[in-house]
Structure 1
């Protein structure tokens, strides 16, 4: 009942105003109370429990006493009706069907927050941001998650996984980003927490089911008709040990650079938003540590990947060959990809691979690697580029690009023409030197 009181206390002032009390009445009994009836309820409570009403509003003690009166007067079913309306079963725990309602998600679809879901989580943030600094301190986080079994992302190093302010407190931007990631990766957790937080109505209204692959014909048709488009994308970050993957995803979450090297022992996930032509998109980046190969050989896991971020250390001559070997050993041409050369602040070295990185990318019809340095903050708009690819995956999918014979032939002809031009120029220069 204390939890129900907190859910009904919409402004978080520790009291139920007449409006909040009437909303509670409507939710539980489908009938609002007249003003004289509201005053009558408060008078009954004040008569036996004077401190149950504060400034003309029902506080938590008064709310509990009201239900005690129901029970004492043989109206136990009234209290049970309230409990059931808020999802409780006969064992006084939240029902499974309330937390996890049946939700059919086709294999070729993904789940995102709906506009109603984003609006509700924004409202919840503002309600529990007691000091009004637009960030959740640890006490405020504890307060909101006391409505539930606790923070569901401890395994993902939350709040390191999302955007925080300089004090390490989760901002509204980071709060929404974290829930966007949670919904994409584990929508059932989101459904449960929408229920814990008191989402009004069916919690399934807080999510949207959207076709996963935007390069499908049906998805392109939906885009032309202005139907729902995806706004959350999953990026796999792969590369050799020490190539700078962790620094890349830390920079994405606006975390400070650290020169101390700590090998990634397990999957690390980070989320943030990027602005693409005035539209906000969320990118979820996953680094797998020593498990790159196990992920890339799993067809099921590759189906979830929207962008393959291939990272190598431009100061390590052996770093790029790791990526080339991955592409030789696994079928990755059907995935949109981007190559990122890290540590551009260090001395550049020639990569010991069959082909230089630029030529290798050109043969895949991809743009040359983007050179970045997380140490000095020179990121070459790499995250905006990633966002642009998720918006138009055909532009960076080797299998699609290489299947366009005319375009590929044109590139080859231009390359041959360029080489012939160099030869003619050299001959002409030699002739005049005689």
Structure 2
């Protein structure tokens, strides 16, 4: 996480050289007379520094004479730079300073510096910033006893020795913190780090063979550091693993590297552990941040859920880029190329995510969409499932695109439809024709046992079953269908079960529906009255959406409905089409219904209850009207001409 400003508080006994360090950093040279406490000194960001470096680093000098001021500064510090120069001040680190920090409840990284190491010359030019390995034995007890201590380093303000490196270590402890990654007491990565690195390994293993080849490792390097891997670095990696192959580690049967194949998952973790031990925290954070991890080892919320400005009457769909990515993802994990994802394929696919989305599990995935004969989701079903997910909750889609390592901003994988337009006629608002939507949502409403579940199963191409289970929980399914002109759409069918009344009472949920399908069993004389009672109770809700009447089980004997109004007359009073008679045994009738639902969603005016059609005229009617209009215009012109002539004659007579 990039911070705008870092506050570095210098602590230590009097005379250890705190003020001299600040003066050397600020002026780039040793200042002979730097007695007394300095005020805050701001060091601006160097143009060549890391993009994660802060814009400003403030150095705060402190004095033992003002304990209250010291404590105040420590409580607002980001990092503590603790200095000592001799045996007495060294012992005070354990006996006083670290005890003080802990008594204040501070949870800050501490950089320990041994100052006045004037025997060393300036090495800022030739020494790599990664070369921060502790070599002095006096540092070892401090690092072992105090986990707060991030690093130790020798410095000299007089010779400028390691001044810049020590300053860099203070910055690095904030922008590349080690504490979230590594448990220094156990000498092991923390569980969150292991999980993150394992996920990165899985995403980088493009051929899914369990190894990172040289090419895959090079691709990872380019993604994380925007440059090809250095030849010397690659040689170091290979040499390290070759050396380890004959060590005790090999005797533990832990396979780290296989010649001709590449680095294993365990090898990848071990390599990153070596970077920690060499003080190369930047390398690990460069890898983690390329995959959008924060300092708490969670993926950035703003990346998972980018902000979208969605009008109230618009919907969200996948863009062509989003569909293309999901197609490639399906093909990548369809290892046997049979056109279906087995459970093992799905397990591998979702291994780099929190798991199959809860929305999918709640809707009986994969049986909420198209599966093959073995129950494996097909490419058609895969795309339909994501189309439904994006329509119902686009945030799930953006999050999983990131989990699947979508390389660009997840927003470009989506597209927002135009806001719905409404028109006014006969005292009623109605939805106008839709031109830019490809995903529609239909709500099925009807009495229990009227055939809603069978319709859903038939929609997904599954055979009709005589067994009937009462729909207690909501059911949902999605599939694609093609209309004339080869235009493809995705249709979502929802059966609400016992939540039917709650759905009708929730106007916000109804807004997400494009069509309401009122279904009754034509062979059950008591089925239609349920719809009439429901319509009368929720008349306002029904009249705001297009409605289609459906008579199911049409292959059985038709029964007169025990209701004060019959279905055909009911439809006529609402100015909608007569019930469409369907049967799960009549495939053509089902296709006709699905097409009608989609066409109604595209042109809602066809099925708005209580909205009569505008009077229509034949071509002959228009011809006769034109002749009558022309005759009327001619007659009016003649009368006008006669009147003008009469006025002229009257004036002159």
Q: TM-score range by the shorter chain?
A: 0.7 to 0.9
CA contact (8 A) 2:316 2:415 kept: yes
Aligned counterpart for 1:354 among listed residues 558, 561, 564: 564
SS of residue paired to 1:295:
helix
* 1:358 positional shift: 2.3
Aligned to 1:6: 202
For 1:39-62, what per-residue CA distance to the aligned partner results, in whole angstroms no more than 9, with x for missing partners?
536533543355514525444344
- Please identify the structure whose Cα radius of gyration is greater: 2
* 1:30 positional shift: 1.5
Tell me whether 1:363 sits opposite 2:570 in the alignment: no
Aligned to 1:428: none
How many angstroms apart in 2 are the aligned matches of 1:263 and 1:177?
26
CA contact (8 A) 2:432 2:605 kept: no
Aligned to 2:427: none
TM-score by length of 2: 0.57
How many angstroms apart in 2 are the aligned matches of 1:304 and 1:82?
41
Aligned to 1:299: 507
How many angstroms apart in 1 are the aligned matches of 2:550 and 2:282?
64
How many angstroms apart in 1 are the aligned matches of 2:517 and 2:474?
15
How many angstroms apart in 2 are the aligned matches of 1:370 and 1:342?
8
* 1:390 positional shift: 1.8
Tell me whether 1:190 sits opposite 2:386 in the alignment: no
Segment of structure 1 superposing worse, 144-153 or 86-95: 86-95
Segment of structure 1 superposing worse, 279-288 or 370-379: 370-379
- Taking the TM superposition and a 5 Å limit, the aligned residue runs for 1:25-424 are 25-33=221-229, 36=231, 40=235, 43-49=238-244, 52-55=257-260, 57-152=262-357, 153-211=360-418, 213=420, 223=435, 229-277=436-484, 278-330=486-538, 331=540, 332-375=542-585, 377=587, 379-381=589-591, 382-399=593-610, 401-402=611-612, 404-407=613-616
Segment of structure 1 superposing worse, 369-378 or 112-121: 369-378
* 1:276 positional shift: 1.6
Query: Using a 3 Å threshold, how does the CA distance of structure 1 residues 215 and 58 change in structure 2: closer, same or farther?
Result: farther
* 1:136 positional shift: 1.1
* 1:82 positional shift: 0.9
How many angstroms apart in 1 are the aligned matches of 2:227 and 2:433?
46
How many angstroms apart in 2 are the aligned matches of 1:52 and 1:299?
60
* 1:258 positional shift: 1.7
Aligned residues: 400
* 1:27 positional shift: 1.8
Aligned to 2:9: none
SS of residue paired to 1:211:
coil
Aligned to 1:416: none
CA contact (8 A) 2:311 2:419 kept: no
Q: Which has the higher contact order (CA 8 A, sep 6+)?
A: 1
Segment of structure 1 superposing worse, 352-361 or 300-309: 352-361
For 1:130-173, what per-residue CA distance to the aligned partner results, in whole angstroms no more than 9, with x for missing partners?
12111111111112112112111211111111111111111111
Structure 1 gap segments, 5+ residues each:
224-228, 411-434
For 1:242-265, what per-residue CA distance to the aligned partner results, in whole angstroms no more than 9, with x for missing partners?
111111111112222221121111
Higher helix proportion (structure 1 or 2)? 1
Q: What do you get for the CA RMSD once the two structures are aligned?
A: 2.6
Query: Using a 3 Å threshold, how does the CA distance of structure 1 residues 263 and 56 change in structure 2: closer, same or farther?
Result: closer
CA contact (8 A) 2:433 2:604 kept: no
How many angstroms apart in 2 are the aligned matches of 1:38 and 1:359?
82
Segment of structure 1 superposing worse, 310-319 or 83-92: 83-92
Structure 2 gap segments, 5+ residues each:
1-196, 246-255, 425-430, 619-653
Query: Using a 3 Å threshold, how does the CA distance of structure 1 residues 315 and 325 change in structure 2: closer, same or farther?
Result: same
